[in-house]
Amino acid sequence: EVQLVESGGGLVQPGGSLTLSCAGSGFTFTRDWMSWVRQAPGKGLEWVANIKQDGSEKYYVDSVKGRFTISRDNAKNSLYLQMNSLRGEDTAVYYCATDGVPAGLNNWGQGTLVTVSS
Amino acid sequence: QSALTQPASVSGSPGQSITISCTGTSSDVGSYNLVSWYQHHPGKAPKLLIYAVTNRPSGVSDRFSGSKSGNTASLTISGLQAEDEAHYYCSSYTTSRTQVFGGGTKLTVL
């Protein structure tokens, strides 16, 4: 069974930094692209970033470019999202997902909440 | 990277069929047959229902079907059931190699 478990969320002040992690199990981690998707309170889903199997390609939504960095450690079956210069509008539940490009985001974690507030 | 346009809400009675539209542009929905649909119950992980416009992952009911014409994709749910009540999101790959979601549609089963 595919499992994705996010961690690292919490309360952070505006301008601060946070790193999210996503541990994968039950599948061949190197098979898939991986994505981060977020959902702000009361809002819809927003795709944030994705990364190719070997880390050689990365893409970001415009609103996080230059502030967030996606990375992965295939030896640890783990995906990361380094978030810097955090803003109130980054407050959201962050999900990691396997990205079966072009077959959609086919497995999702339960999410981790990031709250940016003073 | 503007969000795809979906109706905010739709409703139907058990057994009926409903269709949710998803309108994008020639830079996303209209460019590729790479539209996906997701079902999201509050507090749970989103679930992939449809990928590449018309394809269902293993285990997804055939009551869910997808289609596309030009810059607009659609999700049809037939034989509505109470457990179908949820939020539904479309998504598309874009010409910038990114992905974009729709604003979401809340389905109410009357």
Contact A47 B103 (CB under 8 A): no
Contact B101 A44 (CB under 8 A): yes
Tell me which DSSP letter residue A74 carries. Answer: G
The answer to whether the beta carbons of residues B108 and B86 sit under 8 Å apart is no
pLDDT digits (tens, 9 = 90+) for A97-118: 999 888 899 999 999 999 999 9
Cα Rg of chain A, angstroms: 13
Which residues 48-107 of B are in CB contact (within 8 Å) with A? 48, 50-52, 55, 57, 87, 89, 91, 93, 96-104
- Is the pLDDT at B24 greater than 90? The verdict is yes
Contact A104 B102 (CB under 8 A): no
The pLDDT, as a whole number, for residue A102 is 82
Alpha carbon distance B83, B92 (integer Å): 25
Alpha carbon distance A12, A54 (integer Å): 31
User: Residue A42 contacts by C-beta under 8 Å, 6 or more apart in sequence?
Assistant: none
- Is the pLDDT at A95 greater than 80? The verdict is yes
Place of tokens 């919490």: A10
Alpha carbon distance B62, B39 (integer Å): 14
Contact B89 A110 (CB under 8 A): no
Q: Is A19 left (phi over 0), alpha (psi -120 to 50) or beta?
A: beta
**pLDDT confidence band for A25 (50 / 70 / 90):** very high
Alpha carbon distance A109, A97 (integer Å): 6
Alpha carbon distance B20, A92 (integer Å): 25
Three-state SS string over chain B comes to CCCEECCCEEEECCCCCEEEEEECCCCCCCCCCCEEEEEECCCCCCEEEEECCCECCCCCCCCEEEEEECCEEEEEECCCCHHHCEEEEEEEECCCCCEEEECCEEEEEC
Q: What is Dmax (Cα atoms) for chain B?
A: 40
**Which strand (E) or helix (H) includes residue A44?**
none
The pLDDT, as a whole number, for residue B25 is 95
Question: Residue range B85-98: average pLDDT?
Answer: 96
- Is the pLDDT at B67 greater than 90? The verdict is yes
Alpha carbon distance B110, A82 (integer Å): 43
The pLDDT, as a whole number, for residue B1 is 75
